[in-house]
Amino acid sequence: MYYGFDMGGTKIELAVFDKDLTQVWQKRVPTPKNDYQALLNVFKTLTLEADNDLGCKGKIGIGVPGIVNAKEGTVFTTNVPAAKYKPMIHDLANILERPVKVENDANCFALSEAWDPEFRHYPSVLGLILGTGVGGGFVIDGKVLSGKNGIAGEIGHMNLNVDADNVIGETMPKILCGCGRKSLL
């Protein structure tokens, strides 16, 4: 079985797929945005529930909004402050007692579309995600294009060339990106 987690700014969803990639189980819960231990516990609870219901231990992949540093085992995400710069990948592998693969959610989405029979014949695929944030993933010849810093498709981190207040108005909340910059898409 394949366990696919989608961690977002408002929800964490687990979908389980069999060897034929047919979805056989699914559950969605709110994201604990500011409590790291509660965040880890959500992954543990959902995984154990699926393990028990399905009678097996599936392979785990997690899509997250933001930048994944697989070498350090950390995630940089502005939508889920609890996970920011924490050793999430290593902690989850220890808690869940199995390897855990973590990738940017937009890259996961773009890759899933590139593998779909309808799009498989296209050499390049762009996937865009509009949720709590804005993300993008590029797939060229069946491989994710990550770029030098791992953020090639992250259009949400693109600097706007205009002052957002002039375009959107003063009523728009002024939220800083996790990097400390303003006026990002």
Query: Do 18 and 71 lie in a common domain?
Result: yes
Residue 31 belongs to domain spanning: 2-105
Prediction pTM value: 0.83
Query: Do 111 and 100 lie in a common domain?
Result: no
CA angle centred on 98, ends 95 and 101, rounded to 5°: 100
Q: Which residues pair with 11 in a beta bridge?
A: 30
Query: Do 61 and 19 lie in a common domain?
Result: yes
Q: Convert the pLDDT of each residue in 16-45 to its tens digit.
A: 999 998 999 999 999 999 999 999 999 999
153, 110 in Cβ contact below 8 A? Answer: yes
Q: Is residue 7 part of a domain?
A: yes
Q: Is the pLDDT of residue 96 over 80?
A: yes
Counted domains in the chain: 2
List all residues 6 or more positions away from 102 whose beta carbon is below 8 Å from its beta carbon: 61, 62, 63, 64, 68, 70, 75, 88, 89, 92
